[in-house]
Amino acid sequence: MKKVILASIFCLFIHVNSHAQTKQASIKELFHVMQTDSIIEKTFSSIVPSILAQMPNIPKDSASVATRDKMMAGVMKIAKDICTKMINEDMVVIYDKYFSQAEIDDYIRFYKSGSGQKFTKMTPAIQADLMNIMMQKYIPEMSKSIAASVEVIKNKESK
């Protein structure tokens, strides 16, 4: 009897463990069909000009531009490496937590469809448009608001 119970527990453990691995493999397949790594690459490439546009105080001589470009390339590589690690590790755990196997399978079917492929293809352009709007419209407004708040605080402290 003890052997039967032990064998049952062992089989249950193997079944649960293999199910989790299958689901995690499905999640990784989902990220693949979503072209998550490609989207991140395109997104970073499209936001660099917006970031550089917000750095007007950098001299325009060739040495300064070369230094700035080298610095931005280094920062972007670090950011991409972090995002890749996050996708391959942390996001798998998070998706596993919030989505069932059936839902993951539904998403895979969607992203393999024509509409899903178009959504994936257009995502970097949409994100670039949003980033440009944010940088042109909202960041300057936010900067003014922060500067005004800092000025109020300075005035209160000087009294």
Give 44-94 pLDDT, tens digit per residue: 676 667 677 766 677 778 887 788 888 888 888 888 888 888 888 999 999
pTM of the model: 0.60
CA distances (Å), origin 93, targets 37, 84, 101, 143: 17, 14, 13, 37
Which two tokens mark 26?
A: 């499905």
pLDDT of 3: 60
Per-residue model confidence as pLDDT tens digits over 103-158: 999 999 999 999 999 999 898 888 888 888 988 889 888 888 898 888 888 888 88
Question: Has residue 28 got a pLDDT over 60?
Answer: yes
Domain that holds residue 144: 2-158
Measured at the CA of 155, the angle between CA 144 and CA 150, to 5 degrees, comes to: 30
Q: Which amino acid is at 137?
A: K
Please compute, for residue 115, the number of CA atoms within 13 A of its CA located in the half-sphere on the CB side.
4
Residue 112's pLDDT is 96
In Å, how far are 28, 71, 106 from 84, measured between CA atoms?
A: 12, 20, 24
d(CA 100, CA 89): 18
User: Tokens at residue 120, please?
Assistant: 């994936």
Q: Give the number of domains in the chain.
A: 1
